[in-house]
Amino acid sequence: MKSYTMELAGRTLTVEIGKVGKQANGCAFMKYGDTTVLSTATASEKPRDGIDFFPLSVEYEEKMYSVGKIPGGFTKREGKPSENAILTSRVIDRPMRPLFPKDYRNDVSLINMVMSVDPKCRPELVAMLGASISTTISDIPFDGPCAMTQMGLVDGELVVNPSQEQWAKGDLKLTVASTAEKVIMIEAGAKEVPEDKMLEAIYKAHEVNQTIISFINGIVAEVGKPKHEYEHYVIPEAMFDEIKRLVPPEEMEQAVFTDEKQVREENIRKITDKIEEAFAENEEWLPLVGDAIYQYQKKTVRKMILKDHKRPDGRAIDQIRPLSAEVDLIPRVHGSAMFTRGQTQICDVVTLAPLSEVQKVDGLDANVTSKRYMHQYNFPSYSVGETKVSRGPGRREIGHGALAERALLPVLPSEEEFPYAIRAVSETFESNGSTSMASTCASCMSLMAAGVPIKRMVAGISCGLVTGETDDDYLVLTDIQGLEDFFGDMDFKVTGTTEGITAIQMDIKIHGLTRPIVEEAIRRTREARLFIMDTCMKPVIAEPRKELSPYAPKIVQIQIDPQKIGDVVGQRGKTINEIIDRTGVKIDINDEGAVSVCGTDQAMMDQAIDMIKTIVTDFEKGQIFTGTVVSIKEFGAFVEFAPGKEGMVHISKIAKERIDRVEDVLTLGDKVTVICLGKDKMGRISFSMKDVPTQEGMYSSN
């Protein structure tokens, strides 16, 4: 067993090799502070028959015992991965995948199991490092190592590898992965951080990554295994030559040079049929036709863009596809908007609800227990012209929804300003590149249409990249479509306002980006998002509506003394449930005494608020109430003036004249007006009916 340590952001990172997981191809037992993660890398001996892609599986397993919890539910064991686990797996996958050989077809599984959590050392970061280390020291072919660093922004200062609390409350949540030379992955959520500050944070993280890579290289030098041989998957050169003879390059260029996705796909289908017919008797080449045509398309598109500066749909390098937008296309919902960019079209629908409808989160971060804003993204098969049964959201859908959610969170009003739970659902009607950025634009307009008082408009766009043989030979593309994403080297998504960036997600297929590429992409995305806001979004809806939809629930919030919460709730919820039953409203009370009353009938809401105010009022002599006679005794009547609150009217205080029996004046259920006389000797509230003043200042009996 070997143990290695380094100081990382003021805490000790320990990596133990050979202590556990000895049958895995690579295993690292990671400790950062008291956070412990077991990271393993395994690979199959041979590829599965017929497989034509690299089957990489990345898992981030959250064990509830790591934070001293027993899982909920009947089974009392961990179930399907949480949204945070899925997003973490994606962040690990994205920098690792490009570093495996492009023709590697063996199954590879990277599993990261969180075993204990120190709130000062985020387990996601430890898992990212563990995945890189376990793979790099294994015999699995991998052009690593890569390293990951997280950056926070607290009180204007950049913080390397922030604690859970700093991560939750800071103005920046940035994760940067690097190789020894270049940045290979960026993931960020930010509270309108300016572009210059974001670049500073990215490259400060990149510097830290270099120290981690040096540390990993030291481990590999001692315990790293030789990389195993594998079956290379290549297209024979003779086959390529024959395909080019049958389909000359100019014919392939003509096939892909169109802005209609369906036309392009039909052109490629005809070419594929032609090649398959020609190779029908060649048992060696026929199974490779699909991949060969794909590579032929890729080389053609990349050459057209990089050398000829021609995009498949004829646009200029920095030109955005045709834009359109509208709001209120769906009747009766609380807010709706549709955003179209070329052949990418998103319809977003917003629903408002009381805060009791927030999403509860049961995870490893004690600072995050609920989500008030929920952004969900759906990608049906018809949006890309395919026939496939829907099996619920996959990792891609969850990731796209989370990206749009991060983009809009910084501009949402606080609970005090807008006491609603908010759900935005982005439905993909058509897809041809960067639907997550279209979702951001559609959701922003939908929120404004719903009357959510967001602070500023948010838009997003994606930039692509095609590189040549050297670092200086490249071309950045604004607003990539699907073909440019498939055959290009980068998908660099950035969202933001006029003031700064709110989210970044960068995926690449090469071994990293130089700083000039990153800077140009960030500059291009700022120019593009401002253009989208000014020319497409603002003409449709420039600011949030002042009024909510008539179909949206109305919420009124009042503040009560926290010590009176028990009076409003009542024993086993009897009092609050009675208010709800009488008025039909929903009532939420937090620990600070903020009471939210939600309903669609304003009169019933007002009645509920009056009841609550009455319950929490300290009763003083002279206060006047209207109540219901709920009990009649020989000595008087009891009047309920609020749910669970009663006072007694003595028989002598019912009428100005003497009465012999209470029943001569009152019956059960009568509505009466009473004035408070204080409390009697038994501590009960004492009322009078005969002493209630009239509008003229006279007294009137009831």
Sheet containing strand 183-193, edge to edge, reads 157-160, 147-154, 172-178, 183-193, 501-508, 490-496, 459-467, 474-478
Query: Alpha-carbon distance 133 to 224, whole Å?
Result: 10
**Shared-domain flag, residues 588 and 506:** no
Whether 127 is covered by a domain: the verdict is yes
Do 251 and 211 fall within a single domain?
A: no
pLDDT at position 567 is: 85
CATH number, position 259: 1.10.10
Nearest by Cα to 629 from 599, 663, 660, 597: 663
Percent of the residues in the chain that have a pLDDT greater than 70, as a whole number = 99
User: For residue 271, is it within any domain?
Assistant: yes
* Tokens describing residue 332: 């009766």
Q: Which of 557, 550, 615 is nearest to 586 (CA)?
A: 557
- Work out whether strand 373-378 and strand 421-430 pair parallel, antiparallel, or are unpaired: parallel
Give CA–CA dist 577/573, Å, rounded.
6
Backbone angles phi, psi at 228, to 5 degrees: -80, 160
Do 630 and 608 share a structural domain?
no
Tokens of 614: 């009455």
Q: pTM score, two decimals?
A: 0.87
pLDDT score at 617 = 77
Look at residue 42 in the predicted model and tell me its pLDDT: 98
Q: Is 470 contained in some domain?
A: yes
HEC readout, 67-134: HCCCCCCCCCCCCCCCHHHHHHHHHHHHHHHHHCCCCCCCCEEEEEEEEECECCECHHHHHHHHHHHH
How far is Cα 425 from Cα 439, in angstroms, rounded to an integer? 9
Q: Do residue 270 and residue 182 come from a single domain?
A: no
pLDDT average, residue stretch 252-274: 89
Domain boundary among 537, 564, 597: 537
- Quote the pLDDT of residue 621: 81
Q: How many domains does the chain contain in total?
A: 5
The residue assigned the tokens 């295994």 is 225
Q: Are 335 and 446 in contact (CB under 8 A)?
A: yes
CB atoms closer than 10 angstroms to residue 467: 21
Is there a domain that residue 312 lies in?
no
pLDDT tier, 432 (very low <50, low <70, confident <90, very high otherwise): very high
Q: CA–CA separation, 306 vs 464, rounded Å?
A: 12
| Pairing assessment for the beta strands 108-116 and 56-62 based on DSSP bridges | parallel
Q: Which two tokens stand for residue 273?
A: 């049929």
Question: Over the stretch 454-501, which tens digit does the pLDDT of each residue have?
Answer: 999 999 999 999 999 899 999 999 999 988 998 999 999 999 999 999
CATH code, domain carrying 632: 2.40.50.140
Asked if 350 and 423 sit in the same domain, the reply is: yes
- Model confidence at 702, pLDDT cuts 50, 70, 90, reads very low
End-of-domain residue from the set 537, 572, 597: 537
The end-to-end CA distance of the chain, in Å, is 91
Identify whether residues 204 and 84 lie together within a single domain: yes
For residues 167-186, b (16+ Cβ closer than 10 Å) or e, as one string? Answer: beebbbbbbbbbbbebbbbb
* Confidence band, pLDDT 50/70/90 cuts, at residue 248: very high
Contact (Cβ atoms closer than 8 angstroms) between residue 668 and residue 632: yes
- Residue 243's pLDDT band, with cuts at 50, 70 and 90, is very high
Pairwise CA distance, residues 349 & 338, whole Å: 9
Type of residue found at 330? I
Give the full edge-to-edge strand order of the sheet including 2-8.
2-8, 11-17, 26-32, 35-43, 108-116, 56-62
Place 615 in a pLDDT band, splitting at 50, 70 and 90: confident
Contact between 136 and 145 (Cβ < 8 Å): yes
Please provide the average confidence, as pLDDT, over all residues in the chain: 92
Token representation of residue 294:
């794909």
In the DSSP assignment, the letter for residue 535 is I
How many angstroms separate the CA atoms of 247 and 277, rounded?
13
Span 442-446, mean pLDDT?
Answer: 98
Torsion of CA 390, 393, 395, 400, to 10 degrees: 120
Q: In the structure, what pLDDT confidence band is assigned to residue 19 with cuts at 50, 70 and 90?
A: very high
Residue 604's CB is within 10 A of a number of other CB atoms, namely 15
User: Does the pLDDT at position 140 exceed 70?
Assistant: yes
Query: Helix, strand, coil proportions of the chain in percent (round to 5)?
Result: 35, 30, 35
The predicted pLDDT at position 613 comes to 86
Alpha carbon distance 167, 159 (integer Å) = 9
Instruction: For residue range 176-192, list pLDDT tens digits in order.
Output: 999 999 999 999 999 99
Token couple for 112? 């990261």
368, 295: one domain: no
Residue type present at position 266: E
Q: Is residue 611 part of a domain?
A: yes
- The mean pLDDT of 353-360, rounded to a whole number, is 89
Residue 626: pLDDT band by 50, 70, 90 thresholds?
A: confident
Domain interval for residue 528: 323-537
Query: Are 350 and 453 within 8 A, CB to CB?
Result: no
Average pLDDT of span 436-450: 98
The answer to the question of residue 701 being in a domain is no
- 206 & 336 share domain: no
pLDDT at position 179: 97
Domain-terminating residue out of 223, 245, 272: 223
Q: What is the pLDDT of residue 701?
A: 34
Q: Residue 561, CB half-sphere, CA atoms under 13 Å: how many?
A: 10
Q: H helices within 365-463, ranges in order?
A: 395-408, 435-449
Q: What span, in angstroms and rounded, lies between the C-alpha atoms of 160 and 177?
A: 13
3-state SS assignment for residue 625: strand
- Do 150 and 175 have their domain in common? yes
| 97 plus 178 within the same structural domain | yes
Which pLDDT tens digit goes with each residue over 265-287? 899 999 999 999 999 989 889 98
Question: Each residue of 46-83: pLDDT tens digit?
Answer: 998 878 889 999 999 999 999 999 988 888 999 899 99
How far, in Å, CA of 186 to CA of 464, rounded?
Answer: 14
Domain annotation covers residue 513? yes
> The domain that contains 205 carries what CATH number?
3.30.230.70
Whether the per-residue pLDDT at 698 is higher than 70: the answer is: no
**Mean pLDDT, residues 358-369:** 84
What number is the average pLDDT over the span 364-378?
89
Residues 432, 573 within the same domain: no
Per-residue pLDDT tens over the stretch 100-135: 999 999 999 999 999 999 999 999 999 999 999 999
**Would 607 be classed as within a structural domain?**
yes
Query: What is the reported pLDDT for 391?
Result: 81
Beta-bridge mates of residue 519: none
Amino acid identity, position 571: Q
Q: Which of 402, 422, 268, 278 is nearest to 359 (CA)?
A: 422
Q: What is the pLDDT of residues 571-594, one digit of tens each?
A: 888 889 989 998 999 998 988 898
Same domain, 289 and 161: no
